[in-house]
Amino acid sequence: MIVSVILAAGEGTRMKSKHSKVTQTLLNRPMIDYVVSSSEEAGVEKNIVIVGKNIEQVKNIFQNRNIIYKTQNIGPEFPYGTGYAVSLAVDEIADDDDVLILNGDIPLLSSDSLSAFIKYHKESGLVGTLLTAIIEDPTNYGRIIKNESGHLIKIVEHRDANEEELKIHEFNPGVYIFRGSLLKESLKELDTDNDQGELYITDVVEILAKKGHILGTFLLDDVDEVHGINSKDQLSEAEEILRKRINTKHMKNGVIMENPSNIFIEPGVKIGMDTRIYSGAKILGKTVIGEDCIIDGGSTIIESEIEDNVQINRSVIEYSKVFKGATIGPFAHLRPKSEIGQNVHIGNFVETKNTKLGENTKAGHLAYIGDADLGKNINIGCGVIFVNFDGKDKFRSTIKDGAFIGSNSNVISPVTIEEDAFIAAGTSVTKDVEKGALFISRAESRSIADWVYIKRKKNR
């Protein structure tokens, strides 16, 4: 079995935040979630997360995930260091397990790279493998020291490196795989004989090498994948790397982007070919967008399904579905559970919620349609309001095919308006309307001559 131990207890004081470092977000998603998800996608069967005072914050992120938590206590009676943190997981590690050690603040490491790393370790027969990368300026990083055969023998921290070792540009990002039995034995041999007085997981490498065990390295092609995060500026840098990676992938798959550096797309989004996305758009969650769509700048789409040939103009869509050929906006708001049918038009400042609209129905401007089922070929006039709440309960209305709802009308739920019914402008619909009927509730209009002048004379 492959078991991961993910180190996530650090508070990250340089982050300058009341929130734990690993719960800071990149593209609207906590960095620890990227690490755990990559581990899961790489085939890790058991994930153990080492937490500290941030245990509740981390648990809230993974409420429905199968994760084991181990708490790293802090105080003079407890050891410090990465070696101690890993040792907290030994009860969950079998002798024949392969143990993948990850850091919770390296969110850009992809599942593909982790899978290749794990595969290399298994096929090479090594007892321990260290993922490494080469960086132009390795200052403050641990250097990789190998013997004449190219096998890993130790990791030397920057402050302890001699002149020759400082010339090495291959560094240690803190990602390892060890055979379970040997890792557990080595953890018992760690000591605090160093300038920090801590137990270091890096010392496991030298302990095993001195016993004659063969360890190796796996060189990562893209050093950005092990971009560590300790401050808000590093968080911003990592988010920009992730944004570019995601947007480039979509463009390679046929999506057209205007100014991709200013387009915000979360990792779980899927987008079809020839869809055009303009600067400023935000697409979040597990949204699916079809082909040949236009997403104008300023639009935000959250956890929604958008079919082919849809146009969205500076609008917000949340947890909804939009069928083929629909046009949305500008400045429309589809609230959760809206289903916008084929070739429907939702126009300026129209809001929908928990509503279905059949094909070719139109609501051009300034309307609220909530808790309703609308059929096909319906016209919703300007200023129409579906009055669905009495202060205590919500009610639902049904509008059938071909109905016409005149401007400034109120549909006071629950009512049913039958096929081809015509609701006159300014009407409040308080009861069901039969098929093909004209429904009107306005009082008779009249004009009182000279009313203004008579009123003025009385007020003198």
- By annotation, the residues acting in catalysis are 365
Q: What are phi and psi of 88, to 5 degrees?
A: -65, -15
Burial category of 23 from C-beta neighbours within 10 Å (exposed 0-12, middle 13-18, buried 19 and up): buried
Q: DSSP letter string over 158-186?
A: GGG--TTGGG--EEEEEEEEEEHHHHHHH
**305-306 vs 128-134, strand pairing mode:** unpaired
Burial category of 66 from C-beta neighbours within 10 Å (exposed 0-12, middle 13-18, buried 19 and up): exposed
DSSP label at 240? H
Residue with tokens 């002048």: 453
Structure tokens at 363: 């609501």
User: Does residue 368 contact residue 389 with C-beta atoms inside 8 Å?
Assistant: no
Sequence-separated (6 or more) residues with CB below 8 Å from residue 91: none
The dihedral sign for the CA sequence 137, 141, 144, 145: positive
Burial pattern 96-127, b for ≥16 Cβ within 10 A else e, equals ebbbbbbbbbbbbbbbebbebbbebbeeeebb
Q: DSSP letter string over 372-410?
A: EEE-SS-EE-TT-EEE-B-SS-B--EEE-TT-EE-TT-E
Say how many Å lie between the first and final Cα of the chain, rounded: 95
**345-357 vs 362-374, strand pairing mode:** parallel
User: Does residue 346 contact residue 332 with C-beta atoms inside 8 Å?
Assistant: yes
